[in-house]
Amino acid sequence: MRVAPGKPPPVLAAGALAWREGTEGIEVMLVHRPRYDDWSVPKGKLDKGETFPAAAVREVAEETGYRVRLHRPLPASVYLLPDGRTKIVQYWTGTVRAKTAPGPLDPGEIDEVRWVGLDEAESLVTRQGDQVSLVALRRYLDAEELVTVPIIVQRHGAAVSRAKWRKGEKSRPLNSKGRKQAQALPPLIDAFDPDRVLSSPWQRCLRTVEPVARIEGLTIRTKDELTEVGHEAHPSRTAAVMARVLHEARGTVVCTHRPVLPTVIQSVRDVARPGAALELPRENPFLAAGEALMLHTTPQGSVVAIERHLPNIG
């Protein structure tokens, strides 16, 4: 993020509005801050080198004792702090993966965690950003778009240039930047908790997703249709692979190459809701090396929200 000369850098933070099915409908998780005597959505500042999604998961765990998986994004909150700096808070909806601690890490910061219905939550929160998050979550619920799974289109990390590699495209490896990107990917991808990894069998793709697969305990399944050669020979088969992934609506990482992305993205456009389709990249190279395109997909296979993230390598 670029900052104008002479201006202090913005304060970056992230959080998640976790929800669950209660006995009388949807409940959301709020925290009580004794310093302000208010109820709010769990959030906190990014650590150095941390991405927004990874920070959201970490902060929720520290403030509540719950480890969450992120789903579709909520509207960001941007406001001025008393010292004149801008604060930017990115939010997501979330669901609980596990209870990792008995409660808040610091009771002096958060002294109570409570699951409440939407109506009660809207009466409890006082910050405008939290109110916006609750309104958005209710809108997704009413539109039957609250339940989503992540389908992550991952472009492989930066690779050794074609001109410098004489041993063929299948074995062309990541360069030093690409290796750093691959090592930085797991906290970003893990925030969305996918349960399957599909990849081109070419080395630069495999090396990009191997750290993710290892952390998640997943086996990489390779697809020749995701290679440059396979796509060039039979683009319809590449489109069919992606269409099947979208139709199955299962949390999936799909790692491929830049020349394959136009076909992959067109397959997404075919099932994306109009508002989401506007967020799809339209021009070559479509994604930067190492960049992830997050597709938030309903159980019916419709893409309702899209976001893009790069691993943070400093």
DSSP assignment of 97-160, as one string?
EEE-SSS-S-TTT--EEEEEEHHHHHHHB-SHHHHHHHHHHHHHHHTT-S--EEEEEEEPPPB-
What DSSP string describes 162-189?
GGG--S-GGGPPB-HHHHHHHHHHHHHH
Residue 205 has pLDDT above 80, yes or no: yes
Which tens digit of pLDDT belongs to each residue from 1-23? 454 556 788 999 999 999 999 99
Give percent of the chain above pLDDT 90.
Answer: 92
The lowest-confidence range among 159-168, 187-196, 233-242 is 159-168
- Asked if residue 2 is part of any domain, the answer here is no
Domain shared by 161 and 302, yes or no:
yes
**How far is residue 165's CA from residue 144's CA, in Å, rounded to a whole number?**
50
Give the domain extent around 131: 11-142
- Asked if residue 272 is part of any domain, the answer here is yes
Q: What is the DSSP letter of 219?
A: P
- Asked if residue 224 is part of any domain, the answer here is yes
Domain shared by 56 and 111, yes or no:
yes
Domain boundary among 142, 167, 193: 142
Distances (CA, A) of 120 to 28, 75, 92, 124: 10, 21, 20, 6
- Asked if residue 5 is part of any domain, the answer here is no
Domain shared by 172 and 293, yes or no:
yes
Biggest alpha carbon–alpha carbon distance for the chain: 65
Domain shared by 105 and 153, yes or no:
no
- Asked if residue 19 is part of any domain, the answer here is yes
Give percent of the chain above pLDDT 70.
Answer: 98
Indicate which CATH number applies to the domain containing 222.
3.40.50.1240
Residue 208 has pLDDT above 70, yes or no: yes
Domain shared by 50 and 178, yes or no:
no
Going by C-alpha positions, the residue among 45, 60, 293 that lies closest to residue 188 is: 293
The SS3 assignment for 80 reads strand
Domain boundary among 127, 142, 157: 142
The mean per-residue pLDDT over the stretch 305-313 comes to 96
Domain shared by 158 and 305, yes or no:
yes
Indicate which CATH number applies to the domain containing 49.
3.90.79.10
Residue 309 has pLDDT above 90, yes or no: yes
Query: Cβ(222)–Cβ(237) under 8 Å?
Result: no
Contacts with 73 (C-beta within 8 Å, 6 or more apart), sequence order: 90, 91, 92, 93, 296, 305, 307
Domain shared by 154 and 137, yes or no:
no
Structure tokens at 264: 């992959």
**How far is residue 235's CA from residue 260's CA, in Å, rounded to a whole number?**
8
The SS3 assignment for 278 reads coil
Burial track 220-254 (b if 16+ CB lie within 10 A, e otherwise): bebbbbbbbebbeeeeeebbebbeebbeebebbbb
Query: Cβ(149)–Cβ(64) under 8 Å?
Result: no
237 φ/ψ angles, rounded to the nearest 5 degrees: -70, -35
Domain boundary among 120, 142, 164: 142
Domain shared by 194 and 220, yes or no:
yes
Number of domains in the chain: 2
pLDDT bin (cut points 50, 70, 90) of residue 263 is very high
- Asked if residue 1 is part of any domain, the answer here is no
Domain shared by 203 and 264, yes or no:
yes
Domain shared by 82 and 154, yes or no:
no
Which tens digit of pLDDT belongs to each residue from 53-89? 999 999 999 999 999 999 999 999 999 998 999 999 9
> Is this structure's pTM higher than 0.95?
no
- Asked if residue 253 is part of any domain, the answer here is yes
pLDDT bin (cut points 50, 70, 90) of residue 166 is confident
- Asked if residue 70 is part of any domain, the answer here is yes
> In this predicted model, which residue has the larger pLDDT, 4 or 244?
244
pLDDT bin (cut points 50, 70, 90) of residue 311 is very high
